[in-house]
Each structure stands twice: as structure tokens, then as C-alpha cells.
Amino acid sequence: MGLISLTTFFPVLGIVIILFISKKNLLAIKMVSIVFSFVPLVIASYMWLHYKYPMTGIDLESQFQFVEHFAWIPAFHIDYFVGLDGLSFPMFWLTTLLSFISLVASWNISKAQKGYFALFLLLETSMLGVFVSLDFFLFYVFWELMLLPMYFLIGIWGGPRREYAAIKFFLYTLAGSVLMLLVMLALYFNVKDPVTGSHTFNMLHMMHKSNQSAWLTTFDVRLWLYIALFIGFAIKVPIFPFHTWLPDAHVEAPTAVSVILAGILLKMGTYGLLRISYPIFPDIAKYTSYALAIFGVINILYGAFVAMAQKDLKKMVAYSSVSHMGFVLLGMAVFTTAGINGAVFQMFSHGLITAMLFLLVGVIYDRAHHREIAGFGGLGVRMPVYMGIASLAFFAAMGLPGMTGFIAEVMVFIGAFSVYRVLTIIAAFGIVITAAYMLWTMQRVFLGKLNPKYEHITDINGRELFTLIPLGALTIFFGIYPLPVLNMIKVPLNYLITLIH
Amino acid sequence: MIQLPSFLIISAIVFTLGIFTILYKKNAVGILMGVELILNSVNLNFIAFAKYVDVGINGQLVAIFIIILAASEAAIALAIILSLYRERATIDVTLVDEMKD
Amino acid sequence: MIQIALFIWLLPLAAFVINIFIGKRLPRKGDWVSIAAIGASLVLSSILLFRVITGYNPDFSLHASLHWINLGGFKLDMGFYIDNLAVIMVTMVSLVSFLIHVYSIGYMDGDPLYNRFYAYLSLFSFSMLGLVLWDNLFGIYMMWELVGICSYLLIGFYFTKDSAANAGKKAFIVNRIGDFGFLIGLLVVFNFLGTFNLIDIQQDIGRGLLSGGWLTAAGILLFAGAVGKSAQFPLHVWLPDAMEGPTPVSALIHAATMVAAGVYLMARLSFMLSFDAMMVVAFIGGFTALFAATIAITQNDIKRVLAYSTISQLGYMIMAMGVGAYTAGFFHLITHAMFKAGLFLGSGSVIHAVSHSMKKIGMEGDPNDIRNMGGFKNKMPITHWTFVIYALAISGIPFFSGFLSKDAILGGTLAFAMSQSNPVYYLLPIFGFVAAIITAFYMFRLIIKTFYGKPQLKKLYEHVHESPLTMTVPMMTLAFLCLYFIYTLPSLGPVGAENGWLMHLIQKPFSAVAVQLGRPVYGITPQAEHFAHVNGLIISIVFALTGIVLAFAFYFWKTINVEKFTEKIKPLYTLSLNKYYFDEIYGATFVKGLLVWNQILAWFDQNVIDGLVNLAGRVMRVFSVFDGLFDQYVVDGLVNAVADITLGFGRGIRKIQTGQIQNYILGALLGMVLIIILTMI
Amino acid sequence: MSNLNSLQYFIPELFLIVAILVIIVVDLFLKKNKKIVSAYLAALTLVVTIFLAYQQYGYSPALLFKGMIVLDSFAIFFKIITALSTLIVIFISLPSFRTKAEYYVLLLIVTLGMFLMVEVNNLLMIIISMEMVGLISYVLVGFNKHDLKSSEASLKFMLYGATSTAVMAFGFSYIYGISGHLNLDVIQQSLIINQPQALPLFVAFMMVLAGLGYKIAMVPFHFWVPDVYEGAPTPITAFLSVGPKAAGLALLIRFLITLVAHPSAGNAANFIQNVSIHAPLLLAALAVATMTLGNLSALMQKNIKRMLGYSAIAHVGYMLMALVVFNNQGIIAVMFYIVVYLFMNFGAFCVVESLTDKLGSEKISAYTGLGYRAPFTAIAMAIFMFSLTGLPPFAGFIGKLYLFAAVINQSWYILALIGLLNSVISLYYYATVVKVMFLNRQENAPPLRVALYNKLLIGALLIPTLVLGLYWSPVINFTSRSIGFLFGK
């Protein structure tokens, strides 16, 4: 068993163990799940140390690392084919990190803990699976598998309107993924394995024009397939106007689930576009790039404006995610080195930052039992440490230099400006709006006179700090020294750009 | 000389009568009679075709089998109707609508 | 030297890290860490300055950089570019910063967030020094943002006060608007030149890679950043509010250093300003100089007067950059840093005294209000005398630094106007000279109202006393640095600093634009320059004295009745007192507009986007045969759009399942017939 | 093949007949409290029958009894499936039908009828075998004599079934008239050679389709389904949703081969008989109607059996979708789907059967908080529901995958898209069950004890549902081999 499989399926082992633990033995359940999510993080970090930077990945199996490839269902030409390249590795690592942190942050889950932790581990496995899969079928299975634990995690452990949010999330994403299924099958029947001559689900084979059938090379067909696939991914991102599931899901989901939702799940949409849509349909990607850029700009501004109007702290953060994902889209749409690298770096960066933000919301929700922004006020007096970390996170989200968000956003702007000047200028105005709503929110929560209701509120505790500090530290570390990530992503992404041009 | 179309027309009429019986009789047994009418029209067809199209006894055989089937069907149907009658004291099918959306 | 610069830069960062994490547990709450760090930076930068002065080479420069990001098609290098400008600026920053660190020991004594205050100060010093030292626009932009954040944090330091929190937010957001322009400017530059490095940019522009309209645009966009940071019209509104921060912060950030960053940026970029861009710069600067001065006259908050004064003085500098009086502008930056920091420290000293006194007598009130003061000169001699020196300096009285620099600027603008054919350019010197009178007037109004005359509140006056040594020593140091000879050395002539070390070391860089055009952008003839200098000198002395005399006439001798006079010019007075209603206008238009717009979008999001297909569902309902059923329709937990329709259909379709067996049979038969008919057509 | 020679290929059926008689006789000698033995005997019979049927697997296709019966691997596959479904039903029924030997005997007789249905080659045999299944089914549905719903369901089923069969027989009479033959293979040849008139043939075709459509619950011949499913005893509902349906599908495929096109023709063809009807389009329309109507109607159901009834209609729609392309791939997909469907659908019904007595209701709302009262059963139910929706990694997904693959491979994209969107709709009602079980919680509800026997049975059905979702190579290979048609020459 290779390292990837080990990492991916290690949490499943944890599930098995948890199932055998009595549901009364809470400590054991929690510890097992934390340990079984920590080990993947260790393995993934170890893999990072052994990562070979110059390998391009994208469409050649030989350029992938840690590859495991063997037949799974020969009759349908489905392979168990996993591997990592610079595009997937940061997300892979981030997933292990955020899963671990989320599980630590789930310590206070108050009901049906056994189910919660088991489902969470299942979620981790499915997310990792999405990022490592190079076989479309495998990818799809993991992609869908993710929905089940998510549905339950939101639906059982969520807030008051959890049922609504959970089913909405479920239906929305399923609607998107059935389109993906359609495209997957269409591709399957129109792509030949160059060696055996049979149909194949191998993504990498799909990317080579020589393997595609004549039908698949006609423009209209490609366009429609691309659009169908795009909608599938767009719902996940979420791209305006498919975003309405997101605020609901976030508001109702428990803190740790929000972290995963915003930190990882949203990235899957853009990851899918980069991993699948772009290399398979480079011409269409280019053809539709202007539309994508416009979507990006709409996301940036629309998300920011709507975020500003929110009264619920978590909803505000959720819409800020919509806004920040817009940067990813804009960067992806321009096919310049700076743009696309900035986009992927933004995926990584936003994963860290938004995770912090949601954890912070969780901290305060645990104490105040509400998230009404107007209902706080002056908390900085009683919670100085919390305010400090929250400031860091908010500044990071505002794109303050010295943190990852800044580099990513500026790279996106630089990359985009050379292609779409006006759009970029419009998008750049988002930084003003972002600053406005972030600071306004901070002010309403922390600054001003202390709301007498919270005279006795306690500051952040050690466990919560334990979840936040690594993220904060990484945000700053990669904000100052982004090379470890950038060096990893640049090779495949630059190669991807050459494919598209 | 009676030709094939005559048989077919007769049988079609019987078939139609059967359908209308099924649709308009309130009495379950009446509906069953409608079914029997249809089966008889089927028999008529088979026999006619056996005579005019397929020279052999295939059609006749089918007719005999269908008569037998109709008999057994009637037996079971009457049993069911009887059972229903015991429970509800009616065999008016329009009153049997406890289950619906 | 690069290593020294590196230390200068990083030491405050180290202090910040130490203080933010463990400062609270250190002895004296860690103030010594920050002071030691900035002190060391000061020493190191003095070494640099010493080397530069001894080198005495106007073209001295050092550059070192390394790859920060290298993606193949996209590179970002980071490095230091050290020339005379940077060295002098670094020395100034670390000096003022050091003094203010020391001053804060006394001023911030006993504050519950004492350690955090020092941490922020260190972070600010770090960012500001970085801003000065970086060799590329991108790095400058990063540090630019960082100083903005420090400013935000420090303005909102007393965050339990709503006004402070608001001011911090306002400062940051208004700055962000300027930064938005800055960012776009960066993008333009990078788009055309593929580099952010200042040296490369200069060379590339010289080669004509960026020219014409785009060059002008780039210049103006980058200037937008300066407009925000240096609080120029129309983005000046944040600086007066920023006075909510502790006074040392006002002195350091909002008088001496950060707000001057805009000027510094213009100095750095002077080579890439086309003529049109320069005119935008010059007119905005000149207008701001006058405009802010007129507001300063009527303000009653001691710090607000100084804030508007700062805006006005920054306007001078910006104007100087605009007309190409690069050296003069930078010179004024340095002298202004000294006297304005001093003024703020002095005002801080007064406020400190007043608020302590207020606390003692249990009085509620605004310690900043000069209407409560008066006659403090006896109680606070050191504060008084240093304050007078600063005021003389800012008013442009000979033998003080301000005279030299302001005169250089005014002379420069005059010379520029003379060398242009269009008389509209005479507006610039007129702005400057009128502002000079007003400056002298409001400064002395302030002094008279604070230190002279009868105490307005006897009881308050009783308890006022001089500040401790940690506060007065920095003030005295700064006062010393306002003396003229510091800047004219090695010569001692009091009328001009042309032969002084500073103006020697800071000479106008080779303009890339000029090279590109093959000719000077504007030709200031030596004759014009000489004429302007001499005349400017005379006019500015006369105007400054006029201003002072007027102030005495109004407020000391009371030869002119202030009340009556203000009555006469009531509309103007009200306008000035209310700062021309800029806050109100912005509030009513942009802020309100934005909030309303957000509400609209949020409503749109909830009702339109989410309900779009929902709506479609309702429309379908109208046309639906099963209308009656839909009426009882309740969206059962699922507002989801598609579901609305599908569930609706679901309800409708159920109607055919009547429970009547004959209906079923009929349905099947009709279905069959229907299929036959449909397929046979 | 002559009648005597045929007998050696007719062993499973013969064994079944003998066993039925034996059990009837044995039952007479059993004491009242020992009646359960006949149930065991019935189960044993089925196991042996399956074994015997499997033994026939190697035979080359042959016509038996002078062409009345055809023995090919396709038929054997369906024989095994139908026998298996009966076997499972017997297991599901054991707890509630402990004293009724005749119940098991009737089930065996239905099985015999289904065996015949899947291997007929003769119009008369079709009528006879379908009546055999139908008549016994009416009785089984009404088996709970004193249950009003049960007898009502029985009556409706009987009237509807009798009418449908009669109409179908009328259609057969025309086909006989047009072709002059009764055996399907000969009819096919005759139709190819003689090129008869389109209209009568098509009307006859539709009439037959009405009869077959009633059997497999195809729209618009599905009306009986909800009422009968709701009224019938739960095991019988389960049985109707799988066994006869599978047999009906097999019969439909055979009939379509006769009248429409042979799968070896590759892409689905028009009517061979020069009828200007685009048969695939017709089937596609029926498929879409069936699945959409099934799904939409299921959305609002309160009764779980009724909901599953509609869901069963929807699943027929999915399977019809693959018949649209009517090539080997499509038929394999349908066969594979039936296997998968067998497990997950029986699983769901098995859960319903296990809980109905305990909860005293078949209402979905009665399942509230079940996840906390009977975790294993509830989790199993959730898996069956998600599998029925077609979510990976459960077997239902793989089944659907093959169906959609077959459709997409022939470029029926719109059809596939409609099918996929239908899956999304179906998620809503399946997830409602899950939601009620897990997301809603009854305060202070005591744990619900589900008998170990039921748990084991559910577990036994759960395993294939899970395993086939991850590794289905053996089954797909099995089905691929079973596509050997007699008419493959």
C-alpha cells in the first residue's frame, strides 16, 4: 500500500475502531479520531519533505508522484489510480491539516459523539480521495461519498434550521454532480486508452487529443460538455448564482464542519476545474475564459457587498468566502503565470484563513450562544487574546501583507490585469469593500463599550488556541515565505498554461 | 359466405362491449363479466385466424386454453369478491377506495 | 551597509514579536525591549547617515536583492535600495520613533495595554523602515499596507471609545481607497514593464517602454496612494479623526512619518511622473495646503488644529513634488517631521497635564479643547518654549528649519510658475503664500489660546503641571532639531540651505520621463530660479510675520474683536468650523449609499437568486391545472427552488390516483390510445 | 425438440412442481404448531431449484417442447433471479407467516409461473404463465383476509390484472392473425419476410405492451401499483416489486426482440416491419414518463410502502431507459440493475417489515428518531435509501452507472440528463426517510428491539448492497455471460 492510500484510508481504520468503542467512552472516541486524523497529517508532511518539485504532473502519469495504479473493475476499465502533483498536493496536505484541527475543535460536540466522529473521519477520507484521484470514476465516487457525511454532519449536529440546510446542500451538490456523471460517461465512451485501445476513465488519457474520438473534437460537443462539467463544479465553488446553498449550510453547520466546508469543499470546485476541465478542454477553457473572469468579478464584489449587509457573523464569513473564491476564479480565467498561480495559492491561503475565521466564530458562539453581530460589542476588553487572534484572521482575510491572502490576491490582480484591464480594476475595488466589512464587523464585535451582558465572558481557552495558532502561524509563514507552496504549484500550472495556449 | 372481416368486426364489437362493461359496471361481478367478454372476443379472433390464416389447430387450442383460464380466473376472482363482501357487505367497486393519494 | 540596513529594519520586528507574545510578563511590561530595538536602529542608522555625509556623494546608492517569488513567467525580487534619500529618511524615522518611544514611557504610563502599545509602535517602526528601504514598488506597497494597519490599531487603541474605533476604521478604509489606486498603478507598471524594481522601472521608462497616457495614468494612480496616506484632498477626512489615537501616535504616525510616506513615495517616483501627472500632483497638493489651513483656523481641539496643519504642510510637500521641487519637498518632509512631531508632543504634554488635572478635580470634559486652557506658560515652561520654537519653525520664521524648507518650496513653485507660459500656474505659488499667512495665524492662535492670557478654568489651571522628564527630553531634542543650522551645515547662512549637506545629498534624480522625451519636461531657467528664490524669501517672511501679527491682534491684544469678526463672515466661518461638511457629504453619499446598496443586494440574494426558480414555480402554479391544490401549498421546509416546482408537480400528479379501480383502468386505456394516436401521427 | 427430450432440460421446473405437490401433502400431516416446517421445505426447494437452474448454465440455447419454451442463459439468469427473490421473500415472511403452509406453496407456484415467463417462446405460453403469476399474486395480495386494505388491494389488483391480461390476449390474437404463428421466433421470421401492415401490428403491439406494462408497472399502466403495494402484506409488496417485475422485464425484452429488433443489430433499430414508428423514441418517452411520474408522485407520500411503490415505478423507468438503446450493453445494464435492485429493494422492505409491528404504523413519520432507537436498522435503511437514490459507494450507483452508460454510449444525452435529474428528485424523498430517522429526534423514546433474525436478514441484504458498490466485477461478468440469446444466430 502506498503512502497515498495509507493517508487516504487511515481515517477509515479509525472509524472501524470507533465503532467498537462504547458510546459512553467519550474520551476514547475523541482521542481515537484525533489520533487517526493526526497520522495522515504526519504522513502528508513527510510526503512533502520527499516531494520532487520539478515534476509537472497534469497529463502524464510519469510526472505524477506517489502514484498507485492498478485495475479495479477491468470490465469497465476502472482503475484505482491515485497520484499527486503540485496542483493537488497543497490541497491534499491542507485537507489533512484542517481535518485534524477540525476534530480537535469538535471536542465539545454534545450529542451522538460516536456518529459524529466516525462521519467526520469518513469525510476526511472522501476529501483526500477527491484530491488524489486520477481516475475519473474514482474521483466521482469520492466526490459523491463526501456528500453523505456532510449531509449528516450538518443535518444532525447543525443549528435550528439544519434539516433545511442539509437537504439544500445535498440536493444542490447532487444536481451538480449528476451533470458531472453525464460528462464522465460521455468522455468514457469517446476516449481510448492508447495502449489497449479500450475506453478508459483515466483522466490523463482523456487529456490527450490523440485519444479522443472525432465526435469529441467537435466544438459544440466540447462546449456543452464543458458547460455541464462547469456547472457541476460551479455549484461547489460556489459561483454566483449557484451560491445560495452556502450561507445556509454554513450558518447551520457546526463549527468544525463549517471549517471543512469552507476550507476544503469549496476548493474542490476550482480544483476540479483545474484538474479536469482545463486539461481536457483547454480550447473551451480559453473560449469561455472571459465569462469565467466575469463570474469571478461578480463573486468578488457581490460576495463582499452581501457580506457587509449580514447581521449574522457566520453568514458574513460565509459570504466573504464567496468573495474570496472570486479571486480564484479571476486568476484561473486569465491563463497567465501570475494569475493561475495566484489562484491556486489563494485556494490554499483561503483554506487557512477561512478556517481560522470559522473557528473564531465557533469560539464566540460557544460562549455567547448567538452570532448576531450587533449583539456583541466591546468584547476586546474581556477577551484580549481572542481579539488578538481574531484581528490577525480578519487582517489576513483583508489581504494584509505578510499573510498568504495578500500574495494570492496581488498575484491574481497582476495576472489578470494584463488580460482584462477593466475587469481587474473593478475587481480590485473589492479590496476596499472587504476592508470595510471586515473592519466594521470587528468594530461591532470587539470595539466600543463592553456589552454588559458579557461582563463575565471568558477568554479563549487552551484547546481553542491549539486549533487557531497553527493556522495563524502558517498564514504568516507562507505569507512571508510562500516558496514551498509556490514552487510546488508553479511547475504543473505553468505547464497547464502552455497546454491551454 | 362469411369472411374473416366479419369475425373480426364481431370480435371487435364484443371487445368494445367488454371494455365498456368494465368501465361502467359498479358491480365487481359485472366487471368480471366484461373481462369474460374480452376473453371471448379473443377466442373468436383466434379461431377465425386459425381458420383463415394459419391452417391448423393452433388457434383453436389457444381458444380452449383461454376458456380454461377464464374459468380459473373467475373462480379466484369470485373468491376475492366474496371475501371482500364479507368484510364490507358490498361489492360496489366505487365504494372500495380506502387507498388513494 | 546592507546588513546594517537589515538590522535597522528587523530589530523593531523582533521587539514586536517579543512584546506581543510575552511583553506582559516582562519587567516594565517590555517597553525597554521596544525602546532598545528602536534605539539600536537609531544608532545603526546614524552610522549609515554618518557614512553618507562623510561620503558626500549625491549619487550614492546601494542595491541588493534576492528572489522572493519566482514562477518562471512571473518573478518578484525583494531587496533594499539605499541611497541618500533612504538613509536620511531612515534616520529621521528611527530618530522620531525613538524619541516617541521614550516620550510614551511617561505618556502611556499606567495604561492597561501598555505592552501592546509598545508592540504596535515596534511593528509600525518596522513597517515604516521597510517602506523606506525596499527597492521595489511591490515591497513598498506591502509595507504601505502594514503601516496602515498599525495606524488602524493605534488610532483605535482606546477601542472602548466608539469614536476611536470609528476613527481607526475610517482611517483604514479611506486609505484603502487610495491604495486601490496605488494597486492599479502597480498593475499598470507591472503590466508594461514586468518589474516592480525602482531601478529597472526608471531604466525601462527611460527606454520608452511605458509612455504617453499610460505613463500619466500610472503616475496619477500611484499618486492616489499618496493622496490617501498623506491625507490629501479629497481623502483628507481620516486624518483629523485619527487624532483619537494616543498623542504619541499622532506625533509619530500622523505627523512625522507615515503620512509623509506619500511624499516619500512621490520622491521615489518623481522620475516617472509625466507633466500631466505632475500637474495633478501639484494642484492637489497646493489646493490641500490652502484648504486645510483654512479649516485649521477655526478648530478648537488642539490636536485637530495640528492635524489640519499637518494636512496643509503635507500639501506643501506634495505640491513641491508636483512642480519638480523635489529637494525642497523632501527637505520640508524632514523639517516638518521634527517640528510637527514636536508640536504633537507638546500638545500631548498639555493634554496629559489637563487630563490629569481633570481627573484630580473630577471634571468631565474634553482635555483637548483649547477653550478650557490659557496661561499655561507659567505652569509648563518647557512645553511652552519648545512649542513656541516649533511654531516659529512651521510659520517660516528665519533661523528655524521650517523657514528654509518652506521657502525652498515656495521659491520652487514660483520659479515653476514663472517658467510656464500659462498664467494658471501662478495659482500654485498663490496657494502656497496664502497658506503661509494662515499657517502662521492659526499656529499663534493656538499658542496664545493655550499658553497666554488668562486661564479659562481656574480650578483646572491649578492642577496643571509640567510633564516628566521622559516627555520633556524628547520635546527638547526635537526643538533643537528645529534650529536652522542643523540643515545648513557646513555653511551657517540663515537664508538658504542650498549649500547645506541635506540639499547637497538630495538632488533631483535623473527624470526618466525627461530622458524619454529627449528634453526637460519643464525648463526652469536659472534666472527664474534666482528671481524666485529672492522674491519668495521676502514674500514668505513678510507673510509669516503678517500671520503672526494678525494672530496677536485677534487673540492677544484683542485689537480686533473675534466675535464681531466671525459674525461678519459667518457663512465662511461655519464652513470652516464644519470642515466644509466633507464628513457629512461622504457620509450621506458614499457610506450611506454603500450600506443601502448592500441591503439591496442582500435582499436580492435572499429573494431573487434563491427564489428565482421558486418564482418560476409560482408562475407554473398559475397555469397549472391543479390550481386548487397549490393554494394549500406550503413550502414544506424546502424553499429550494427546483423542489418547489417538483413538489408542486408531485402534488398535482397524485390527483389522478383516485382510488377508483375503474378510473385506473380507464387511465391505462386512455394512455394506450393516446400513445397509439401520438405515435401514428 | 420433442416433448420427451425436452424434459431433461426442464429439471428445475419439474423439481419445483414435484416439490410443490410434496409440500402440500406433507403439510397435511403436520401439526398446527409445526406448520413452519413447510416454510423451511419451500426455502430448501428454492435453494435446490436455484442450484439446478445454475447447473443448466453451460447448455447451448435450445427450443423445448416444440418451440413452446426456450432455454438460454438469459432465461437461466432470470430464473435464478426470480427464484432468489422468492427465497428472500420467504425469509422475510417467516416471522409473520408461521402457520400458513399454503402461503409458501403459493409462492412456489408463482415462482414456477415466473420461470415459465422468462423462458416462453409462445404466445399461448405467455398468456398462461402470466396468468399463473397473476392469479396467484391476487390471492397473495389478499392473503390477510380480515385486513380491509389487503382485500381491497386484492380486488383492485385482480380487476386491473384481468383486464390487462385480456387486452394483451386480444393483442396476441391480432399478432397471430398477422403472422399466422404462435412461436415467437417464427413470428419474427414471418414478420421480416411478409412485411405486414403497420397499423394493426402497432395496435396489437400496444395492447401487448399494456399487458406487459401492467406487469412491470410502466406508466401509463401503473395505476394499480400504489394501492396494491400499500394494501398487500409487506413481504408480498416486496415480492411484487422484484420477482414478477424481473420476469416481466425478461418477457418484455423477449417480446421486443420479436417485434422490434435484435440486439445484435447493434444500435436500436426501427420496427423491422417497416412501421414508421421510431420505437426507441417511443420507449424513451415511456421511460421518461415512468420515472418522472414515479418520482414526482413519491415526493409527497406519507406511507412508506406506498412511497416505495412509486419508487419502484421510477426504477422501472430507469431500466426502460436502458432498453431504449436495445443493444447488448443496454440489456446487460438492465440485468445488472435487477440484481442490484433485488438486494437494495428487498433490504428496504425487509426493514419496513421488521419495524411495522413494533411501530404499529407504516407512516414515514413513525420512523422519527429511529436512528437513536434502533441504530443498526436505521443505518441499514439509510444505506438502502441512498443506494436506491444511486449514490456511491453503494450498489445502486453502479447499477445506475451501467444504465446511464448504455444510454450515453448511444448518444441519448437528453434522456440521460432527464434520468439523472430524476435521480436528484428521488434523493428528496429517499432522504426524507433518512432525515426523519436521524435528523429528527424523539425525546425519551425507548430503544426499539429488532429481532436478531431480522437484523441478520437485513445484514445479509446489506452486504451485497455495500460490496457491489465497490467491487462488482463478478456480477457484471455473470450478467455479460448471460446475454446469450437463442436468436443470436
HEC per residue, A348-405: HHHHHHHHHHHHHHHHHHHHHCCCEHHHCCCHHHHCHHHHHHHHHHHHHHHCCCCCHH
Grid cell for residue D353: 417489515
Greater confidence (A247 vs A471) lies with: A471
Domain-ending residue, one of A230, A261, A287: A287
Does any domain span residue B8?
yes
- pLDDT tens digits along D235-263: 999 999 999 999 999 999 888 887 776 54
**For residue A176, pLDDT beyond 90:** no
Residue C638 binned pLDDT confidence (cut-offs 50, 70, 90):
very low
pLDDT of residue C227: 92
pLDDT of residue D268: 40
Is A167 found in the same domain as A35? yes
pLDDT of residue C510: 67
**For residue C648, pLDDT beyond 80:** no
Is A297 found in the same domain as A277? no
Please report which helix (H) or strand (E) contains residue D423, including its range. helix D413-434
Q: Do chains B and A touch (3 or more CB pairs under 8 A)?
A: no
**B46 closest CB neighbour out of D153, D173, D230:** D173
Q: Which residues does chain C have within 8 Å of residue A308's beta carbon, measured at their own beta carbons?
A: 594-595, 598
Does any domain span residue B97?
no
Q: Where do we find the cell 541618500? A: C84
**For residue C636, pLDDT beyond 60:** no
pLDDT of residue A184: 92
Greater confidence (D396 vs C376) lies with: D396
Q: Any idea what DSSP says for residue C378?
A: T
pLDDT of residue C617: 44
Residues 636-665 of C with CB under 8 A from A: 637-640, 642-643
**For residue D80, pLDDT beyond 90:** yes
**For residue A242, pLDDT beyond 90:** no
- pLDDT tens digits along C589-630: 877 888 887 788 777 777 766 666 555 445 544 433 333 233
Instruction: Give me Rg for the CA atoms of chain A.
Output: 22
Grid cell for residue D6: 425436452
How many beta-carbon pairs under 8 angstroms link C with D?
76
Residue D487 binned pLDDT confidence (cut-offs 50, 70, 90):
low
**For residue D272, pLDDT beyond 60:** no
pLDDT of residue C517: 59
**For residue D384, pLDDT beyond 90:** yes
**For residue D343, pLDDT beyond 90:** yes
* Residue to test with chain C: of D174, D300, D418, most C Cβ within 10 A: D300
> Alpha helices, DSSP H only, in A196-312?
203-206, 219-236, 245-252, 255-260, 266-272, 278-280, 282-287, 289-309
- pLDDT tens digits along D295-314: 888 888 889 999 999 999 99
Average pLDDT, chain C: 83
**For residue C217, pLDDT beyond 70:** yes
Is A271 found in the same domain as A160? yes
Is A237 found in the same domain as A157? yes
Query: What is the C-alpha separation between C638 and C634, in angstroms, rounded?
Result: 9
Chains in touch with B (3+ beta-carbon pairs under 8 Å) read C, D
Does any domain span residue B14?
yes
Mean pLDDT over D117-127 rounds to 92
Is A231 found in the same domain as A369? no
Does any domain span residue B100?
no
Mean pLDDT over A243-259 rounds to 88
Greater confidence (C212 vs A296) lies with: A296
The dihedral over CA atoms of D158, D164, D167, D169, expressed in degrees to the nearest 10, equals -80
Mean pLDDT over C194-206 rounds to 87
Cis preceding-peptide flag for C526 (omega within 30 of 0)? no
Structural domains in chain A (count): 2
Phi-psi region of D462 (alpha: psi -120 to 50; beta: other; left: phi over 0): alpha
Query: What is the C-alpha separation between C544 and C540, in angstroms, rounded?
Result: 6
Q: How far is CA C222 from CA A349, C183, C225, in A?
A: 27, 7, 5
The answer to whether D112 and D243 have CB atoms below 8 angstroms apart is no
pLDDT of residue D187: 85
Domain that holds residue D416: 261-489
Any D CB within 8 A of A75 CB: yes
Mean pLDDT over B25-34 rounds to 91
Query: What is the C-alpha separation between C242 and C156, in angstroms, rounded?
Result: 8
Residues in D lying within 8 Å of B, measured between beta carbons: 123-124, 127-128, 131, 135, 138-139, 142, 145-146, 148-149, 151-156, 158-159, 162-163, 166-167, 169-170, 172-174, 176-177, 180-182, 226-227, 230-231, 297, 300-301, 306
Query: What is the C-alpha separation between A500 and A278, in angstroms, rounded?
Result: 8
The answer to whether C528 and C415 have CB atoms below 8 angstroms apart is yes
- pLDDT tens digits along C544-596: 898 898 888 888 888 888 788 888 888 888 887 788 888 888 878 877 888 88
Does any domain span residue B20?
yes
- pLDDT tens digits along C16-65: 999 888 888 888 888 888 999 999 999 999 999 998 888 888 888 888 88
Average pLDDT, chain A: 91
Mean pLDDT over C537-542 rounds to 86
The answer to whether D224 and C664 have CB atoms below 8 angstroms apart is yes
Mean pLDDT over A360-388 rounds to 88
pLDDT of residue A97: 95
Domain that holds residue B77: 4-91
Does any domain span residue D159?
no
**For residue C520, pLDDT beyond 80:** no
Chains in touch with D (3+ beta-carbon pairs under 8 Å) read A, B, C
Percent of chain C with pLDDT over 90: 18
Residue C110 binned pLDDT confidence (cut-offs 50, 70, 90):
confident
Does any domain span residue B9?
yes
pLDDT of residue C629: 32
Any A CB within 8 A of D466 CB: no
pLDDT of residue C125: 92
Any B CB within 8 A of C665 CB: yes
What b-and-e string marks burial along C510-545, b requiring 16 or more CB atoms within 10 Å of the CB? Answer: ebbbbbbeeeeebebeeebbeebbebbbebbbebbe
Q: Any idea what DSSP says for residue D253?
A: H
Grid cell for residue D144: 390477510
Residues 170-189 of A with CB under 8 A from D: 170-171, 174-175, 178-179, 181-182, 185-186, 188-189
pLDDT of residue A303: 87
Q: How far is CA C41 from CA C1, C9, C100, C133, D354, in A?
A: 13, 7, 14, 13, 81
Does any domain span residue D135?
no
- pLDDT tens digits along A422-431: 999 999 988 8
Looking at C267-281, C294-308, D387-401, D474-488, which range is the least confident one?
A: D474-488
Q: Where do we find the cell 437537504? A: A167
- What spatial distance separates the first Cα and last Cα of chain A, rounded to whole Å? 38
Structural domains in chain D (count): 1
From D72, D9, D13, D69, select the one nearest D46 (Cα to Cα).
Answer: D13
Is A127 found in the same domain as A217? yes
Q: Do chains A and D touch (3 or more CB pairs under 8 A)?
A: yes
Is A237 found in the same domain as A152? yes
Is A132 found in the same domain as A116? yes
Percent of chain B with pLDDT over 70: 99
- pLDDT tens digits along C390-428: 999 998 888 888 888 888 888 888 888 887 778 888 888
Is A86 found in the same domain as A147? yes
Mean pLDDT over C327-338 rounds to 90
CB atoms within 10 A of CB D40: 13
- CA C191 to chain A, closest CA, distance in angstroms equals 6
Compute the C-alpha angle C584/C590/C595, nearest 5°: 110
Is A334 found in the same domain as A283? no
Q: Which amino acid is at A118?
A: A
Domain that holds residue A375: 293-501
Handedness of CA B87, B93, B98, B99 (dihedral sign): positive
Q: Which residues does chain B have within 8 Å of residue C661's beta carbon, measured at their own beta carbons?
A: 93, 96
Does any domain span residue D378?
yes
Compute the C-alpha angle A169/A171/A173, nearest 5°: 65
Structural domains in chain B (count): 1
Looking at C55-59, C103-107, D347-351, which range is the least confident one?
A: C55-59
Q: Are strands C75-83 and C61-70 parallel, antiparallel or unpaired?
A: antiparallel
Mean pLDDT over D325-335 rounds to 87
**For residue C645, pLDDT beyond 70:** no
Greater confidence (D264 vs D171) lies with: D171
Compute the C-alpha angle B68/B73/B75, nearest 5°: 100
Query: What is the C-alpha separation between C680 and D198, in angstroms, rounded?
Result: 10
Please report which helix (H) or strand (E) contains residue A83, including its range. strand A78-84
Residue A120 binned pLDDT confidence (cut-offs 50, 70, 90):
very high
Residue C95 binned pLDDT confidence (cut-offs 50, 70, 90):
very high
CATH number for the domain including B57?
A: 1.10.287.3510
User: Do C655 and B93 make contact, defined as CB atoms within 8 angstroms?
Assistant: no
CA D124 to chain centre: 22
Residue D440 binned pLDDT confidence (cut-offs 50, 70, 90):
confident
Query: What is the C-alpha separation between C638 and C223, in angstroms, rounded?
Result: 53
